[in-house]
Amino acid sequence: MFRSAVTISLVPEARGGPFIFWDDLAANCAKAATLGFDAVEVFPPSAEALAKLPLQEMLGANKLNLAAAGTGAGWLIHKLHLSHMDREIRGKARQFIAGIIEVASRLGAPAIIGSLQGRFENEVTRPQALAWLAEALNELGEHARQHGFPLLYEPLNRYETNLLNRADDALEFLRSLQTRNVKLLADLFHMSIEEASLPDALRAAGRDIGHVHLADSNRRPAGCGHTDFRLPFRGSVAFSRAGRSGATDHERIQNVFCRRLKAQRLAAFHATPITNTAGDAGANPFFAPLPGVRGFDRPIVRAGHGPARAAGGTLPIAARRAGAGQSEPALVAAAAVETAAARSQK
């Protein structure tokens, strides 16, 4: 079964970055549940900080799961990475990731390695950097296995790393490892830059995909760029192997899932106050006004085959319970799009 999650960053230095929610964990868990997400993915400053949070209680109170925990704060705050020429820094990067693996596993989730993979530069050659990365992933992959979860490896685009950018190169590298416990994280933003075909790349990855980030071509929420999200899900073996059987049901679930996630993420995007960002709206590209959305008074969300206007009429029960149309009108749009998508599949 497909499950949806929304990101929450707990790292002050990451405000204004590619996350939906920031800072207030309790409020944002409640908001994620209201929007209909199954889980949250957290970006913590460290394993120690994550362990001190009452996250288990917050998840339970909102009937959410933890989807994954990011490790990128090790790079963002401490400038650690696994390909650094300094052996001590590489060791500290491993320790940082190992700590998050341990804490995340107690919360029922895997850890992600993205920016902490690093890059080759100065005297370090690409083969040397990849050898260090392989050594680290072998060690950390087995560490994650001992804690009952896979380790998620995320290929990044060429502007963020010069190691592994495309899914096929990343998969060839992962399959060369001694450990079999490192899975691919497919981030559709990075893939929209690097892949010739999203469906082909996902199909080739198949069962090696352990996690997917639904981000649009401009790194804003799905539906805010030019990626056609019907294509990655339509007929893709990568997703049919994730627990769906039967072509008719598979196709129906793909379309509803894709439209639902676009609506959820757009609603979350607009329901987040500007005060959660690192500056005003003009300084934050992730919160610039969207075409076709006229603020909070009459939000319009485009999903599926046409616009769903959330103004007037009877609100779906879920939206009324959430208080949509009062403090957070963007929720009306999410409910309207989901309802329209469900009707279109009958």
* Domain layout of the chain by residue ranges: 5-213, 276-344
Q: Report d(CA 332, CA 330) in Å as an integer.
A: 5
Task: With beta carbons less than 8 A apart as the criterion, state whether 255 and 341 touch.
Answer: yes
Q: How many H helices and E strands in the chain? A: 14, 10
CA nearest to 277, candidates 15, 9, 43: 15
End-to-end CA, the chain: 19
CB neighbour list of residue 242: distance below 8 Å, 6 or more residues apart: 2, 209
Q: Which CATH superfamily is domain 5-213 in?
A: Divalent-metal-dependent TIM barrel enzymes (3.20.20.150)
Q: What is the pLDDT of residues 133-164, one digit of tens each?
A: 999 999 999 999 999 999 999 999 999 999 99
What residues form DSSP beta bridges with 65? Answer: 39
What token pair was written down for 323?
């208080």
Please report the pLDDT score of residue 255 as a whole number. Answer: 46
Please report the pLDDT score of residue 199 as a whole number. Answer: 85
Q: Give burial (CB, 10 Å; 0-12/13-18/19+) of 267.
A: buried
To the nearest 10°, report the CA torsion of 275, 280, 284, 286: 40
Please report the pLDDT score of residue 327 as a whole number. Answer: 28
Please report the pLDDT score of residue 260 as a whole number. Answer: 57
- The DSSP H or E segment spanning 343 is helix 330-344
> Which residue ranges in the chain fall short of pLDDT 70?
1-2, 232-346
Taking residue 18's Cβ as centre, other Cβ atoms within 10 Å add up to 17
Q: Report d(CA 237, CA 242) in Å as an integer.
A: 9
Q: What is the pLDDT of residues 176-220, one digit of tens each?
A: 999 999 999 988 889 989 999 888 898 888 888 888 888 888 887
Please report the pLDDT score of residue 242 as a whole number. Answer: 43
